[in-house]
Homo-oligomer: A and B are copies of this chain.
């Protein structure tokens, strides 16, 4: 494989090509192929962008048909038939069955753009500057979103402009099982000199992806919603990684019976890996004036097309989400087994956690996790780590992965752990 040009010309900022230093050429559902023809099972899936697999044929067909017909590809935020179809489908397939009523804002087609729009809207709507965010949260790296992202790697690379506009509070479980971290939030809200500027909104992931597959309890999420309502604070669920079915429901907050004021989606939203994002907001929160938050690619019609096809294909009934839940239990069980083996046989304090097909094994250190995932790559499995130290081996496989691939991948992972730690 020729990699010299890639190594020479691409900025040192590149990262995944360091863990997986091969040149990929093709992909189908849960399998990637490199230039030498070697196949890999994909447990990374674009960090949650490929919930419906690589090159999903039904979605691809809609895309190819649209292209063949010279449909509008780019039209800023023009009205197009593709946009209309997407909105109608979103309403019919997603909103109505769930009793939701949201308006839709299409910002630039990336998660960080959606987060910037969401928190800015919350500020404008409430006339307050502060956003509460949580330890280990990840919400993007442009300056507005970065303020809500905990990772030092990004926070320390701003070149002398500290972020502003957000306050960090401990996520569920952060202070140990004995402490409900929302007690602290509630105390601060009621304290006139606690130092917490009354927030416009709270931004939260129901399961933290980059932060280490930290799973907020459903009661905790429901209480958080209640605190927000009681204090006139907007609840923003960042469902960019956990949404689009990843946890076994279309929106991850459905599990907790929570209705956010604002929702951000991206990653798997297009269904095909195309850049796409939107912000959902309760209609009365739509305080935007025309053009107040813009972006060149805010109406990417190919993504409207594939996204609508995806909703129709997978979300018109509950077959798909039940299947995701089923697969989630398979992964859960195997991860628990691997964790138990690590603990019992290797003395590595390990544990499984997750929701749906967003799952991880916390092995306690990035070094150990890297050994396992490095070995897995040798064995044909692409799997990454997350968490503050990269200590969590993470499963983000396509939700559409065939059972046989899923089992094979889990076998590889288990074997790799044994090899790596022998």
Contact = CB atoms under 8 A, between A and B. Distances in A.
A196 interface: yes
Interface string A75-86: 111111101100
A120 B122 CA distance: 25
Given A49-B74, A55-B73, A152-B198, A294 B15 contact: yes
A325 interface: no
Contacts of A120: 157-159
A358 interface: no
B296 A47 contact: yes
Contact of A24 (B80, B121, B149): B80
- The winner among A2, A23, A74, A81 for most chain B CB atoms within 10 A is A74
Copies in the complex: 4
Size category, A interface: 35 or more
A32 interface: yes
B21 A72 contact: no
Nearest to A31: B70
A221 to B, nearest CB: 19
B275 A81 contact: no
A37 to B, nearest CB: 13
Interface stretch (A138-146, A253-261, A327-335, A342-350): A138-146
A122 B388 contact: no
A24 B387 CA distance: 45
B161 A129 contact: yes
A120 B137 CA distance: 21
Interface in A375-415: 387-389
A194 B16 CA distance: 23
A347 B324 CA distance: 57
A135 B195 contact: yes
A218 interface: no
A272 interface: yes
A155 interface: yes
Interface string A260-288: 00000011000011110001010000101
If over half of A's interface residues share one DSSP class (helix, strand or loop), that class is named, otherwise mixed; here it is loop
Contact of A159 (B152, B170, B200, B211): B200
A422 interface: no
A337 to B, nearest CB: 28
Interface in A155-189: 155-162, 164-165, 167-168, 170, 174-175, 178-179, 183-184, 187-188
A13 interface: yes
A133 interface: yes
Nearest to A85: B5
A9 interface: yes
A246 interface: no
Contact of A11 (B63, B161, B281): B281
Interface string A179-214: 100011001100111111110100000000011100
Contacts of A9: 87, 90-91, 103-104
Contact of A138 (B193, B210, B240): B193
Contacts of A21: 79
- The winner among A72, A130, A174, A178 for most chain B CB atoms within 10 A is A72
9 contacts: A74-B274, A110-B275, A111-B295, A111-B296, A137-B195, A149-B193, A159-B200, A175-B184, A274-B300
Top 3 A-B pairs, shortest CB-CB distance: A123-B159, A74-B273, A143-B144
